[in-house]
């Protein structure tokens, strides 16, 4: 990643990226998690935006179930219209406001 917070070294950025990709690869079918949960699991709880950048700009990340990552309110990524369809194909239900029903589909690993 070309831009990263000043408080992370290049090695920490690489480790963060690897952790993010590993965590995303574990999200089970039919479940979602949030950018913030992933950042916390990676050891950088205030770096949820960097999770999104990592998923968007890392070559090969599109082979992971990135569609299972939503914001803390259950909103899908802006500009990615296919994300909702992919989640619905896995049985994820949305509330009337268009957000994932987080009370039923949130995945929080132990």
CA nearest 55: which of 74, 33, 88, 85?
A: 33
pLDDT tens digits, 65-100? 999 999 999 999 999 999 999 999 999 999 999 999
pLDDT of residue 7: 79
pLDDT of 107 above 50 = yes
Per-residue model confidence (pLDDT) at position 2: 44
Tokens of 101: 């029903």
Look over the chain and give the mean of its residue pLDDT values, rounded to a whole number.
93
| pLDDT at position 6 over 70 | no
Residue 108: the pLDDT is 86
- φ and ψ of 60, to 5 deg: 90, -15
pLDDT band at 5; cut points 50, 70, 90: low
pLDDT, residue 1, reads 43
Select from 44, 53, 54, 30 the least CA-distant residue to 105: 30
Encode pLDDT of 48-61 as tens digits. Answer: 999 999 999 999 99
């Amino acid at each position: 990643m070309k831009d990263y917070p000043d408080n992370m070294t290049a090695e920490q950025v690489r480790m963060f990226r690897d952790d993010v990709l590993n965590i995303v690869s574990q999200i089970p079918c039919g479940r979602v998690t949030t950018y913030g949960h992933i950042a916390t699991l990676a050891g950088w709880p205030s770096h949820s935006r960097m999770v999104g950048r990592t998923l968007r700009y890392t070559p090969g990340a599109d082979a992971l179930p990135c569609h299972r990552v939503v914001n803390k309110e259950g909103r899908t990524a802006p500009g990615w219209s296919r994300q909702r369809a992919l989640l619905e194909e896995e049985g994820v239900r949305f509330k009337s406001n268009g957000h994932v029903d987080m009370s039923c589909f949130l995945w929080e690993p132990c």
